[in-house]
Amino acid sequence: MRLVGLHALRTSRPVPTLTQVYEGNAADCTRAAEQTDDPVFRNMLLTLALQWRLAAQEEAAKQSTEPKAADRAH
């Protein structure tokens, strides 16, 4: 059961960054590709994994060039 309200906010895990989400999706695709016997499906999953990794790299690069919220406040 999921808790709602302030208690849920205090005990929940930190929200992952988009880079982390994309890297997780890439890892999921890679694991699935390793488990399938269908070569067409495996190639599709590996292609998706590559696309997720590229998206993660782009997001990381974008985040490293954007000013932090604290920097924008000054």
What pLDDT, in 10s, does the model give residues 38-72? 999 999 999 999 999 999 999 999 988 877 665 55
Q: What percent of the chain has pLDDT over 90?
A: 66
Q: What is the pLDDT of residue 9?
A: 56
Q: Answer whether residue 44 is part of any domain.
A: yes
pLDDT category, 1, cuts 50, 70, 90?
very low
Q: Name residue, tokens 């974008």.
A: 62
Residue 41 identity = F
Q: Is 27 contained in some domain?
A: yes
Domain count, the chain: 1
Could you list the residue range(s) of the whole structural domain that residue 56 is in?
A: 15-64
Question: Does 1 map to a domain?
Answer: no
What is the per-residue pLDDT for 52? 98
